[in-house]
């Protein structure tokens, strides 16, 4: 499996040099010159832990969560105070874990961020369905949250049981969301579970949109090697049939596809923390992407708090990109939004996209993976499936290995990917 990603990496970066993550960090982060900068904050607490979940999370306790948020404010100040003046950023997303468990401190976190950053496109937060209550939603709204994403997974009892989660009552979601509305209400659904049919998924999608969602993320189930879930991934052909059927159905319904996995029923609705040119991540496991480097914070809550108490940034690993590596990273994540613009690429790198990857783009056009109009490349449904297919390899060869190691060691010696 990793042979495929290794060969692709060598070919696209025109080099045998791997992505080299080292145990090193800079106390100063050169983010002031970065345009299109997004912010991400990780809250790693959950009331119960799901055995299929790869994210950095620990069981919730009020005391630990408070202690963690104090450290988080420290990290925001350590980084934010490096800017000479308030820095404009696009968006702020709270991910987890379950960020809504820290709803009572959200105003303070957003206020501290506001001392250093001006957010121009809104604030998003993830919730577990149990958090969808009027008081929690009202607290999030009062703090400035404009978009929420709810981890539904499925409205089907059978699939919730398979995932070890409780059933979700759609009527309750609808009632609460009617009382406390948000600009975007996204719901996460998981597909490619054993025995799942298109009818099951259609039922889930229809239920989501009929009960308060205007956006949804339909994630393929991924069987990470370091998680202990007994559920295994669906075979490739069956998965493709399902993905194609979902895409065709969403197109027929007139939904907008904003990324490989996301669809919205209203044009203005959006929820995406990943497709940014640059981002700053705060909290355990949060990643930072700047012009020429990628950093990832420690996954350990105690080690994170300790570092901040020493007034040091909690970076665990740093990757310093070669120029071509940065291009590949840029293209991979931009393609996630299903379109790549030659103009944006050239503005970012100062060199034409056609000059760097003309051959690959011509081949992609010929194979029917993309269409081109005035230098804008759009992925076809066939391209989207192959991107998804490749992304699965990428997830298993890169994210699985890296997160697996980071969950074991707070500050590993390094890693080659």
Ligand X SMILES: C[S@@+](CC[C@H](N)C(=O)[O-])C[C@H]1O[C@@H](n2cnc3c(N)ncnc32)[C@H](O)[C@@H]1O
Told to check if 98 binds ligand X by CB under 6 A, we report yes
Pick from 178, 233, 185, 231: which is nearest to 208 by CA? 185
Residues 113-142, interacting with ligand SF4 (CB under 6 A): 128
- 370 DSSP β-pair partners: 379
Rounded Cα gap, residues 84 and 361, in angstroms: 41
Q: Are strands 87-89 and 117-119 parallel, antiparallel or unpaired?
A: parallel
Report the residue number, 117 or 271, with the smaller CB distance to ligand X. Answer: 271
Q: How far is the CB of 125 from ligand X (least distance, A)?
A: 9
Residue 335 CB, nearest distance to ligand X (Å)? 19
- Does residue 369 touch ligand X according to CB under 6 A? no
Alpha-carbon span 409 to 74, nearest angstrom = 23
The footprint of ligand SF4 on residues 323-352 (CB under 6 A) is none
The closest alpha carbon to 164, from 53, 3, 330, belongs to 53
Could you tell which of ligand X, ligand SF4, none binds residue 106, using a CB distance below 5 to 8 A set by kind? none
User: Shortest CA distance to 292 belongs to which of 318, 313, 257, 264?
Assistant: 318
Q: Which residue is nearest to ligand SF4 (CB)?
A: 53
* C-beta closer to ligand SF4: residue 128 or 239: 128
Per-residue binding string, ligand X, 210-239, x by CB under 6 A, is ---------x-xx-x---------------
399 near ligand SF4, judged by CB under 6 A: no
Interacting stretch for ligand X, rule CB under 6 A, among 93-101, 287-295, 300-308, 343-351?
93-101
Among ligand X, ligand SF4, none, what binds residue 222 when CB lies within 5 to 8 Å by partner kind? ligand X
Sheet strands (E) in 258-397: 262-264, 278-282, 287-289, 293-297, 315-320, 339-341, 370-373, 376-379
By CB under 6 A, residue 399 contacts ligand X: no
With CB under 6 A as the contact rule, the residue among 38, 74, 80, 96 that binds ligand SF4 is 96
Least separation in angstroms between CB 163 and ligand SF4: 9
What is d(CA 358, CA 302) in angstroms, rounded to the nearest whole number?
Answer: 48
**Which residue bears the tokens 């370091």?**
226
Partner in contact with 258, chosen from ligand X, ligand SF4, none, beta carbon below 5 to 8 Å by kind:
none
Total site size for ligand SF4, rule CB under 6 A: 11
Query: Under a CB-based contact definition with an 8 Å cutoff, are residues 152 and 111 in contact?
Result: no
CA distance 289 to 25: 13
Q: For residues 160 and 167, is the Cβ–Cβ distance under 8 A?
A: yes
Instruction: State the CB neighbour count (10 A cutoff) for residue 118.
Output: 11
Binding partner at 49 among ligand SF4, ligand X, none, C-beta below 5 to 8 Å by kind: ligand SF4
Mark residues 18-57: x for contact with ligand SF4 by CB under 6 A, - for none: ----------------------------x--xx--x-x-x
Q: Which is nearer to ligand X, 271 or 377 (CB)?
A: 271
From 48-56, 69-77, 199-207, 335-343, span contacting ligand X (CB under 6 A): 48-56
Residues in the chain: 417
Instruction: Scan residues 265-294 and list those touching ligand X (CB under 6 A).
Output: none
Does 98 engage in binding with ligand SF4 (CB under 6 A)? yes
Q: How far apart, in whole angstroms, are the C-alpha atoms of residue 225 and residue 237?
A: 22
Q: Which of 12, 20, 53, 245 forms a contact with ligand X (CB under 6 A)?
A: 53
Residue 274: which of 193, 199, 332 has the closest Cα?
A: 332
Cβ-based nearer residue to ligand X, 296 or 364: 296
Q: What residues does 340 pair with on adjacent strands?
A: 377
Burial 298-321 (b: 16+ CB within 10 A, else e): bbbbebbbebbeeeebbbbbbbeb
Which positions lie near ligand SF4, rule CB under 6 A?
46, 49-50, 53, 55, 57, 96-98, 128, 151
């Amino acid at each position: 499996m990793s042979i495929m990603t290794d060969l692709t990496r060598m070919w696209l970066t025109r080099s045998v040099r791997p992505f080299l993550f080292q145990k090193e960090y800079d106390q100063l982060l050169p983010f002031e010159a970065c345009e299109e900068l997004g912010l991400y904050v990780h809250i790693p607490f959950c009331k119960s832990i799901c055995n299929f979940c790869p994210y950095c999370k620990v069981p919730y306790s009020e005391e630990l969560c408070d202690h963690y948020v104090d450290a988080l404010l420290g990290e925001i100040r350590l980084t934010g105070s490096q800017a000479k003046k308030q820095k404009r950023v696009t968006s702020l997303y709270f991910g987890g874990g379950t960020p809504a468990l820290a709803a009572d401190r959200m105003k303070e976190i957003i206020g501290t961020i506001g001392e250093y950053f001006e957010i121009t496109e809104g604030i998003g937060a993830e919730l577990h369905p149990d958090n969808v209550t009027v008081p929690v939603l009202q607290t999030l709204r009062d703090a400035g949250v404009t978009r929420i994403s709810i981890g539904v997974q499925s409205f089907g009892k059978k699939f919730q049981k398979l995932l070890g989660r409780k059933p979700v009552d759609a009527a309750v979601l609808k009632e609460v969301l009617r009382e406390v509305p948000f600009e975007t209400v996204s719901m996460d659904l998981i597909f490619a579970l054993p025995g799942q049919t298109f009818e099951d998924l259609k039922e889930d999608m229809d239920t989501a949109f009929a009960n308060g969602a205007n956006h949804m993320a339909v994630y393929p189930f991924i069987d990470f090697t370091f998680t202990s879930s007994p559920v295994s991934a669906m075979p490739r052909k069956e998965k493709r049939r399902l993905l194609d059927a979902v895409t065709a159905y969403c197109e027929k319904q007139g939904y907008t596809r904003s990324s490989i996995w996301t669809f919205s029923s209203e044009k203005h609705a959006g929820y995406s923390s990943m497709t940014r040119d640059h981002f700053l991540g705060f909290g355990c496991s949060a990643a930072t992407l700047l012009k020429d480097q990628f950093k990832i914070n420690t996954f350990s809550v105690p080690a994170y708090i300790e570092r901040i108490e020493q007034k040091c940034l909690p970076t665990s690993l740093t990757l310093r990109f070669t120029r071509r590596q940065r291009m590949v990273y840029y293209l991979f994540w931009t393609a996630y939004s299903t379109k790549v613009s030659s103009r944006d690429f050239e503005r970012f790198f100062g060199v034409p996209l056609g000059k760097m990857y003309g051959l690959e783009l011509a081949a992609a056009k010929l194979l029917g993976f993309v269409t081109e109009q005035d230098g804008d490349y759009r992925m076809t449904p066939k391209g989207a499936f192959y991107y998804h297919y490749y992304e699965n390899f990428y997830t298993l060869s890169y994210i699985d290995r890296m997160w697996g190691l980071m969950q074991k060691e707070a500050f590993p010696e390094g890693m080659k990917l």
